[in-house]
Amino acid sequence: MAQLHITILIISSCFLFFFFLNNILIFSSIFVITSLSFIPLSHPLDPLTETELKLVLKIIKETYPVGPSHWFTFQYVGLNEPDKSRVLSWHSAPDQNVIPPARQAFVIARDKGKTREIIVDFSSRVIISDKIRVGNGFPMLTIDEQQAATALILKFKPFRASIKRRGLDVLEVVVTSSTMGWFGEKHTERLIKAMPFYLNGSVNTYLRPIEGMRIIVNLDKMKVTTFKDRFMGPLPKANGTEYRFSKLKPPFGTSLQNAIIFQPDGPGFKIDGHIVRWVNWEFHMSFDVRAGLVISLASIFDMDMNKYRQVLYKGHLSEMFVPYMDPISDDWYSITYLDCGDFGCGQSAVSLEPYTDCPANAAFMDGVFASQDGTPTKVSNVMCIFEKYAGNIMWRHTEAEIPGLKITEVRPDVSLVVRMVTTVGNYDYIVDYEFKPSGSIKVGVGLTGVLEVKPVEYVHRSEIKEDDIYGTIVADNTVAVNHDHFVTFRLDLDVDGKENSFVRTKRVTKRTPKSFGTPRKSYWTTNRKIAKTEAEARVKLGLRAEELMVVNPNRRTKHGNEVGYRLLHGSVSGPLLTEDDYPQIRAAFTNYNVWITPYNKSEVWASGLYADRSKGDDTLAVWSLRNRKIENKDIVMWYTVGFHHVPCQEDFPTMPTLSSGFELRPVNFFEQNPVLKTKLIKITTTPKCTPSN
Ligand SMILES: *[C@@H]1O[C@H](CO)[C@@H](O)[C@H](O)[C@H]1NC(C)=O
Ligand SMILES: *[C@@H]1O[C@H](CO)[C@@H](O)[C@H](O)[C@H]1NC(C)=O
Ligand SMILES: *[C@@H]1O[C@H](CO)[C@@H](O)[C@H](O)[C@H]1NC(C)=O
Ligand SMILES: [Cu+2]
| DSSP states along 327-377 | -SSTTTTT-EEEHHHHH-TTTTB-PPPBTTTB-TT-EEEEEEEE-TTS-EE
CB of 169 closer than 6 A to ligand 1? Answer: yes
Give the DSSP letter of residue 629: B
DSSP string, 133-162: --SS-BPPPPHHHHHHHHHHHHH-HHHHHH
Nearest CA to ligand 3 atom 1: 600
Distance 626 CA to ligand 3 centre (A): 10
pLDDT of residue 453: 97
DSSP string, 519-585: S--EEEEEEEEEE-BTGGG-B---SSPPEEEEEEEEEE-TTSPEEEEEEE--S-----S-TTSHHHH
Phi-psi region of 449 (alpha: psi -120 to 50; beta: other; left: phi over 0): left
Q: Give dist(CA 621, CA 388) in Å, integer.
A: 37
List CB-based neighbours of ion ligand 4 within 5 Å. Answer: 645
Residues 6+ apart with CB under 8 A from 337: 178, 179, 320, 321, 322, 323, 343, 424
pLDDT of residue 182: 97
CB of 600 closer than 6 A to ligand 3? Answer: yes
Distance 337 CA to ligand 3 centre (A): 26
pLDDT of residue 687: 59
Catalytic residue among 427, 433, 582, 592: 427
Domain range 50-132, CATH class: alpha beta
pLDDT of residue 33: 37
Q: Give dist(CA 533, CA 627) in Å, integer.
A: 6
The DSSP element (H or E) to which 238 belongs, if any, is none
CB burial readout 94-115, b (16+ within 10 A) else e:
eeeeeebbebbbbbbbbbeeeb
Nearest CA to ligand 3 atom 13: 600
pLDDT of residue 686: 62
Please, what is the end-to-end C-alpha distance for the chain in angstroms? 44
Distance 200 CA to ligand 1 centre (A): 6
CB burial readout 566-585, b (16+ within 10 A) else e:
bbbbbeebbbebeeeebbbb
Of ligand 3's listed atoms, the one at least distance from the Cα of 598 is 14
Residues 6+ apart with CB under 8 A from 250: none
> Where in the chain are the domains?
50-132
Residue 144 annotated to the active site: no
Nearest CA to ligand 2 atom 8: 239
Nearest CA to ligand 1 atom 12: 168
pLDDT of residue 3: 41
From 133, 602, 622, the mutation candidate for ligand 3 (largest count of ligand atoms within 8 A of CB) is 602
Q: Can the peptide bond before residue 139 be classed as cis, meaning omega within 30 degrees of 0?
A: no
Of ligand 1's listed atoms, the one at least distance from the Cα of 168 is 13
Distance 250 CA to ligand 2 centre (A): 12
From 207, 235, 239, 478, the mutation candidate for ligand 2 (largest count of ligand atoms within 8 A of CB) is 239
Q: State how far the alpha carbon of 197 is from the alpha carbons of 174, 177, 200, 239, in Å.
A: 5, 11, 10, 15
From 200, 235, 476, the mutation candidate for ligand 1 (largest count of ligand atoms within 8 A of CB) is 200
CB of 201 closer than 6 A to ligand 1? Answer: yes
Nearest CA to ligand 3 atom 3: 602
CB of 164 closer than 6 A to ligand 1? Answer: no
Whether 109 contacts 116, CB under 8 Å: yes
Residue 337 annotated to the active site: no
pLDDT of residue 18: 35
Q: Which residues line ligand 2 (CB under 6 A)?
A: 239-240
User: What does pTM read for this prediction?
Assistant: 0.93
Whether 325 contacts 612, CB under 8 Å: no
Spans of the chain below 70 pLDDT: 1-41, 685-693
Of ligand 1's listed atoms, the one at least distance from the Cα of 239 is 5
Q: State how far the alpha carbon of 620 is from the alpha carbons of 182, 242, 288, 598, in Å.
A: 18, 41, 20, 11
Distance 567 CA to ligand 3 centre (A): 26
Whether 110 contacts 116, CB under 8 Å: yes
From 83, 85, 600, the mutation candidate for ligand 3 (largest count of ligand atoms within 8 A of CB) is 600
CB of 239 closer than 6 A to ligand 1? Answer: no
Catalytic residue among 220, 302, 339, 428: 339
Q: Give dist(CA 597, CA 603) in Å, integer.
A: 9
Measuring CA to CA, which residue among 655, 636, 646 is closest to residue 597? 636
pLDDT of residue 663: 98
CB of 200 closer than 6 A to ligand 1? Answer: yes
CB of 199 closer than 6 A to ligand 1? Answer: no
Nearest CA to ligand 1 atom 6: 200
Residue 159 main-chain phi, psi, to 5 deg: -65, -45
Q: Give dist(CA 549, CA 536) in Å, integer.
A: 13
